[in-house]
Amino acid sequence: MNEKNPLVSIIIPHYNNYSILEECIQSIDNIKYKTIEIIIVDNNSIDDSISKIQNKFLDIIIYKSNKNLGYAGGCNLGASIAKGEYLFFLNNDTIHKDDCLDHLVDTLNINQNIASVQPKIKNYNQKTMFDYAGASGGFIDFFVYPFCRGRLFNTIEEDNGQYDNSVKVFWTSGTAFLTRKDIFIKLKGFDEKLFSHMEEIDYCWKCYLAGYDCYINTNAIVYHHGAKTLSHESYFKTYLNHRNSMILLLTNYNLALSLFLIPFRIILEILSSILELFKLRIFHFFAHYIAILSLLNILYLFKRRRLINDIRVINDSKLFKNKIIYNQSIVLKYFLFKNIFYKDIK
């Protein structure tokens, strides 16, 4: 195997919608980097999208699941059969600049301590705008609310080159990121209990706790439709985002810090639910409380904490000291102090 051009396994979890998957694969066919294999993991689609793909693209590996395992489980299935040294996890509603993968591979080749790297992610329909899901690199605040360079909550910036430096980030977006297979396997991949949303944040958090780094290479560019599998209006999406965020808070910090922060986080959940009520989003209102009640699964939380403790070689204070985790509340910055752009809180 060519060390400069290692085999990359492109893993695409899929559930229904032929047209977006076809466009994604056609875009991959046009990339310059050719040392690849493409693995489509079908999460038990109920349409004919996979049979159409099989008939049109003969060299693609299809792995069919007998149930919908979400993004996390689908990607884990793909990784289990992948032959590549690097894994490129990719949403099925993306298209890519032809040199995207070259830049990402270069990043991992140059620095062995980088576990994961993402491209700049822009909006498919408004190509001058950043995309909600990843923008120019992801971060979290100490309450485990995620944000990005180029996107704070629902404020999405236009890309004017203001975040074109390739920097260390806290998380690389599940929309598109490249990681090392050996590290992915070593860290037990994605937590399938999370199903979808924030599983990539959890993975990158584990990378940092294990002593690795995560980066963005802004020379690599991907365009993302977004919300093609699970709508932004879905209350299930609201539930997953808030539940998974609180799970990470309760398990990825040391126990004392987790127990100190969770009451404040629950207060923020209640305030967020009230906002949903004012918007007459009744099911989203209840989603917050179902998410809180899900934290009563003590056995699961205990198993997660044990896994994290086995991984950990870096303590929480070092992540705060090195500004890997934002040590202020992004909620207060955004909603109370009206700091709506990344540059305002940097």
Segment 224-264, tens digit of pLDDT: 997 656 666 899 999 999 999 999 999 999 999 999 999 99
Question: What radius of gyration do the chain's Cα atoms show?
Answer: 19
Q: How far apart are CA 331 and CA 315, in angstroms?
A: 25
Q: How far apart are CA 208 and CA 316, in angstroms?
A: 10
What's residue 288's pLDDT? 98
Whether the pLDDT of residue 1 is over 60: the answer is: no
Tens digits of residue pLDDT in 61-78 = 999 999 999 999 999 999
What's residue 3's pLDDT? 67
Exposed (0-12), middle (13-18) or buried (19+): which is 300, by Cβ within 10 Å? middle
- In sign, the C-alpha dihedral spanning 92, 94, 98, 100 is negative
Tens digits of residue pLDDT in 17-74 = 999 999 999 999 999 999 999 999 999 999 999 999 999 999 999 999 999 999 999 9
What is the pTM for the complete model shown? 0.96
Domains of the chain in sequence order? 8-224 (3.90.550.10), 231-314 (no CATH)
Exposed (0-12), middle (13-18) or buried (19+): which is 194, by Cβ within 10 Å? buried
Specify the length of the chain in residues: 346
* Kind and range of the H or E run holding 219: strand 213-224
* Kind and range of the H or E run holding 96: strand 94-96
Range 271-275 average pLDDT: 96
Range 269-281 average pLDDT: 96
